[in-house]
Structure 1
Amino acid sequence: MILKVSMEDLSYDLKNCFLHCALSQEDYVVKRKRTVRQWIAAGFIREKEENRTLEEVAEGYLAELVNRSLLQVVKRNHFGRLKHCRMHDVIRLLALNKAKEECFGKVYDGSAATGAFSVEGARRISVQGGNVEQLSRSGATQLRALLVFERCIDIDLLKPILTSSNLLSMLDLQGTRIKMLPDEVFNLFNLRYLGLRGTEIESLPEAVGRLQNLEVLDAWDSKLTYLPKNVVKPQKLRYLYIYVHGAFEIGVKVPNDIQHLVGLRALQCVKATPKFLREVAALTELRSFSAYLVRTEHSADLSNAIIKMSHLVHLVLVTDADDEVLQLEGLYLPPTLSWLGLAGQLEKTWMHQHFSFWSHLNSLTRLELSFSSIDEQNFSCLFVLHGLLFLVLLKAFEGKRLDFYAGSFPKLKHLWVWGATHLNQVGIEEGAMQNLVELFFIDCPELKILPDGIKHLAALEKLLLKDTSEELVEKLRRREIQMNAAKI
């Protein structure tokens, strides 16, 4: 009764968000970003407060469901932000009964016990069984969402439902083994969310241009290496996620005229070309942007594009090759930036000055540098990043000594130094990195002694030394033996 009262007390929009989570499988891990995108596409989120985006309102709803104990926190990210959550079995059972009672949605498991399953009256169907023959014979004129959780499914058996579901706004096929979408999908004029994450889809037809109301196209971790020309026609597109394993080296090909998608918030893992970089400058609403195969000659177009992305939060730039110079002179990074990843050589003649210009990046919490050729002097310039929580140096530091002075990186919690082949000494002054929790040194063969001053890291919980010198490993082994002997 207490739980039922708690559910009845939810506002209309919050109740819809809660019941939507209940349509997932039992013990299913609800992911924040995906859930937020689905809630927005479903129309559950409306901007109610000034200066709050739809995404911020949605995350507020998720936090409220956690605070009401209707969702349990499974994982937070490195910054303490909610990442994954789960619904308790008892709460899910009550929620599913409520969803059925209010015609919000039903679960179809494909078992014989399901009997003559009908979708009539249900506005949302969660498919959690591979046998969809019964489902395909049901009418679906009122269906708004079709969520498929079964990996092995015959997509052709869903054609009758897709044909009759003129109101369908959400089709999520995440994780299924489908290789091709049926033509019926592209007749769904009201479709706002198309989820192809983790599928085996290799290409999309030009018919995708008919989905004029599409807001989310999520093909992350699929086999999609290029986008059709007509993908620029659904001008309501808000999120465009495309990534293939190995595409970090080649990037995903994006068609011309990308500038028409002026409402786009996310565009990731795309191949940089001069024409594309000139067009992407028009996408001023971007929050997340990553470009690959960047070359030195792209510098002017790239700088011009990024300077116009005044809301940018996540930026990743990867060069064509490890020794390609990532020319950032004249590049002004927006103060809204929270995550920055740079992979490529940085020009030493301006590195010192440019790092100093980053002092305005008060929101920057994560910095990943790869193949940057940073030396001792240039590294100290990064101390201007007072808000940094996570720092990764991947084959980026080429000096012999790494020093952390008193007051440096006051909020840093995670430091990963990877592939520093010449590093042989680390110095940590008292008052440096006072909140450091994790310290990793990986593939640093010349590191023969523990960091000098490591005792000052009072908050340190985890020290990882991997592929360092045998001399250091042996010292630690002897120290461990001595400590165990002392306990005995």
Structure 2
Amino acid sequence: MCFARDEDLVGIEDNAEKLKLWLLRDLEENNKKKKATVWGMGGVGKTTLVNHVYKIVKLDFDAAAWVTVSMNYQIDDLLKKIAREFGIPFDASNMEMTNLVLAIRSYLDGKRYILVLDDMWEMNVWISIMDVFPSNCISRFIFTTRKYEVASFATEKCVIKLEPLGDNNSWKLFCMLVFRNNGDYMCPLELKDLSIKFLQKCKGLPIAIQWIARLLSYKPPTTSVWKNVHDELVLQSTKNVIPGIDVILKVSLEDLTYELKNCFLHCTIFPEDYLLKRKRLIRHWITAGFIKEVENKTLEEVAEGCLNELVNRSLLEVVKKNEFGRVKHCRMHDIVYLVALDKAKEECFGNVYKGQETFSLDSTRRLSIQSTGTKTSHESFSNSVTKYQSSATHIRAVYAFTSHVDIDMLRPVIASSHLLSTLDLEGCQIKKLPNEVFDLFNLRFLGLRYTGIEILPEAVGRLQNLEVLDALFTPLSSFPKGVGKLKRLWFLYACTLHKGPNLLWYGGIKVPRTITNLTGLHNLETIEASLETLSDVASLTVLRAFLVCNVKREHASNLCKAVKNMRHLVHLTIATSDNENQILPLEALDLPGTLSKLVLQGCLEKERMPQIISSWLQLKSLTKLSLISSKLDEVSFSSLMELRDLCYLELVQAYDGKKLYFSESSFPRLQRLGIFSATQLNQVQIEEGALENLEELRFNNCPNLECIPHGIEYLTAIEELYLENVAEELVEKLIKQESGVNEFNEELAKISHIKLIFVMSTEKKYRKRIVPLRVKELTG
């Protein structure tokens, strides 16, 4: 799902209203199932239309999910996506499909839900999964597709065929994008003829108009410059996807700088419709050498600028932003993907292996393994590598996107590819790396996240050029001494994941004394604290992120000295040992002014809270604070309200008081507030003028919270309220009107201005949305 900009929504108003009415009509009727379809050629705006409507109507349902299907779907993967998007907990590695089907059916049973299946290519997709969904529900399904056969599954008269934009809407969209810096969006007279010629090339397709318009928006608005771009369009040949569209995209690609073009083509090594994570992309780009140094900027900042540039040019679509408004996940449009994939093959940038029995490495420089196929396919692949041994030496990177990679299958590639700089095996079910890996002198990126790797041998020290070693969420318990020889290392990641009844927490990794050699490290997580280790990490003065766990009182001095030396820290996490009474040694902690995210797990010394918070007041960049097991009370919590720059505050098993009070003008910038496992909490008071920018409020596992927060009606910016595992009395007050009792409800009146309100109970497997419309009806 993409974040459609306002300017992308030209010409869809009538269809949007029609689709919205279909979805919301008859919502009160029992057992009412509807299927709506939007179909048309690629790039015509199907996803943009449905996304626009979905964001509006999903607030009227108890459960909502958006899943992109794509051409090469697998039923089990599709069901996992559906479960994940609905927020259904399941064990992806162990759960059988039968149990997953039961989990989905049980979760949706009795609910009012909506599901979007975007980009369906075959009728069999729906036929294969339709029986998964319970029939005793009010349900809405929306399909987007390029094929009429798929569109015909819709409920009678619930079909929209999207056509290309007409001349007027094409012109409006073009001008809004190209001349967005002009207050009136007017096209200069001298550019009008050329603008019309550009639009003729676009054939009314919004995606083509976006590409060419954003390309032109980066150019000086002169006739000569625009004519050069038009001449380039005329010279290009067409051979792919939609006539004319590939030409426009290729011209857009040619306009990219060398670095940007490499970053963009790199995205083709991921499978179609893959969720691209900002941090992973940035690390790949840096270690591949695509990112060049810029004065006064880190390589990460330059790389993030490249990502934003690709988004601004409509070459990547934003799927999700983080709490700071930065891109978190993005995706490549399927048409963009197909054209870019051809370009990547044409330039020998990369090639994709999907288990085919005939496969040639040729002179490709990057190999993306997206399926391993049959045993015959394995043999064919190995034979191909052996046959094209000289070609394999050109390979710079190997990426695996399937868990069933046979490590023996990769041996010939690794053994032949002495220039290999990236080996990313994230998610592969391997327990041991072949010895050939440690002969890869040029290796810069070694990705082992979510693998079964238990031990790294001393031979890892031979990887002298390694810059990223990512072993997060593996059984690895310690790094060998050889890690200290990796003096070019920037990112060192490893941790184990532990699950408790109400809490997830990370376990640390033991690091050797040779860690002192890694003076160029930017990120180090998550390490096991000891006196020696905390003394050693004091030499890592350029760290941006530092995560340490199992901190004890006797570590206080060494920890404070280490952090004092880290004057570039942006993210700091400190967790105590499992001992609940272990107090975090914070009184002497000198935090750098660059810090923006602070996570503390452990008991805070209440008497010293005013002094501790006072030392944090100079942290103007600190916008996110998470406190876990802190044992705060009414008095110590009041000290936190001095932190006026916080945008995100999370308290997890951190508050032991009965009353939570927010004074006037407290937390003026806070946007999200989460209170988890506050078992004594029974009253929340919000003074007028407090939390004036709060958008989301969550209470989870607060069993004594019997009333809606007093003063919640003052929160004019709030849009979402979540109440999970709160007191039964509160739940009954909120859902009383669902039973048909038509009377004034004081609790509902307080929250009538909130768009999205959810009440949930884990024990009773209960999840219900309180509809604001009904609230307003009851309160008159």
TM bucket, shorter chain: over 0.9
Match of 1:233, as an amino acid?
K
Q: Is the 8 A contact 1:132 1:158 kept in 2?
A: no
Match of 1:51, as an amino acid?
N
Aligned to 1:124: 366
**Residue deviations 1:238-297, cap 9 Å, x none?**
101102222946421111221111111111121000000000000011111111110011
**Residue deviations 1:362-417, cap 9 Å, x none?**
11111111221222222122122222111111121222221112221111111111
Q: Is the 8 A contact 2:705 2:726 kept in 1?
A: yes
Shift of 1:485: 9.1
Q: What SS class does the counterpart of residue 617 from structure 2 fall into?
A: helix
- Of residues 130-139 and 257-266 in structure 1, the stretch that sits farther from structure 2 once superposed is 130-139
Match of 1:177, as an amino acid?
Q
Q: Is the 8 A contact 1:119 1:135 kept in 2?
A: no
Shift of 1:486: 7.6
Aligned to 1:313: 570
Q: What TM-score comes out, normalization by structure 1 length?
A: 0.96
Shift of 1:448: 2.0
Whether 1:63 aligns to 2:344 is no
- Of residues 476-485 and 371-380 in structure 1, the stretch that sits farther from structure 2 once superposed is 476-485
Whether 1:385 aligns to 2:643 is yes
Tell me the matched-pair count: 484
Aligned to 1:219: 471
Q: Is the 8 A contact 2:345 2:351 kept in 1?
A: yes
Whether 1:15 aligns to 2:261 is yes
Match of 1:98, as an amino acid?
K
Question: 1:339-350 maps to which residues of 2 (within 5 A)?
Answer: 339-350=597-608
Q: What SS class does the counterpart of residue 702 from structure 2 fall into?
A: coil
Match of 2:304, as an amino acid?
E
Aligned to 2:517: 260
Q: What SS class does the counterpart of residue 167 from structure 1 fall into?
A: coil
Q: Distance in 2 between matches of 1:68 and 1:370?
A: 41
Q: Distance in 2 between matches of 1:334 and 1:197?
A: 30
Question: 1:318-467 maps to which residues of 2 (within 5 A)?
Answer: 318-320=575-577, 321-467=579-725
- Over aligned residues, Cα RMSD in angstroms? 1.6
Q: Distance in 2 between matches of 1:3 and 1:395?
A: 51
**Residue deviations 1:297-319, cap 9 Å, x none?**
11000000001111111111111
Question: 1:276-287 maps to which residues of 2 (within 5 A)?
Answer: 276-287=533-544
- Of residues 296-305 and 365-374 in structure 1, the stretch that sits farther from structure 2 once superposed is 365-374
**Residue deviations 1:95-130, cap 9 Å, x none?**
111111112111122213xx2x22231111111221
Q: What SS class does the counterpart of residue 15 from structure 1 fall into?
A: helix
Q: Is the 8 A contact 1:335 1:361 kept in 2?
A: yes
Structure 2 residue runs of 5 or longer lacking an equivalent are: 1-246, 500-504, 745-773
Aligned to 1:93: 338
Match of 1:208, as an amino acid?
V
Q: Distance in 1 between matches of 2:406 and 2:727?
A: 54
Q: Distance in 2 between matches of 1:261 and 1:189?
A: 18
Whether 1:37 aligns to 2:289 is no
Question: 1:52-201 maps to which residues of 2 (within 5 A)?
Answer: 52-112=297-357, 115=358, 117-130=359-372, 131-136=377-382, 137-138=384-385, 139=389, 140-201=392-453
Q: Is the 8 A contact 1:221 1:245 kept in 2?
A: yes
Q: Distance in 1 between matches of 2:412 and 2:441?
A: 16
Match of 1:419, as an amino acid?
S
Shift of 1:349: 2.5
Shift of 1:166: 1.0
Q: What SS class does the counterpart of residue 279 from structure 2 fall into?
A: helix
Evaluate the alpha carbon distance shift between residue 465 and residue 129 of structure 1 in structure 2; reply closer, same or farther with a 3 A threshold: closer
Whether 1:202 aligns to 2:444 is no
Q: Is the 8 A contact 1:177 1:200 kept in 2?
A: yes
- Of residues 249-258 and 315-324 in structure 1, the stretch that sits farther from structure 2 once superposed is 249-258
- Of residues 438-447 and 64-73 in structure 1, the stretch that sits farther from structure 2 once superposed is 438-447
Q: What TM-score comes out, normalization by structure 2 length?
A: 0.61
Match of 1:188, as an amino acid?
L
Shift of 1:479: 5.6
- Of residues 165-174 and 126-135 in structure 1, the stretch that sits farther from structure 2 once superposed is 126-135
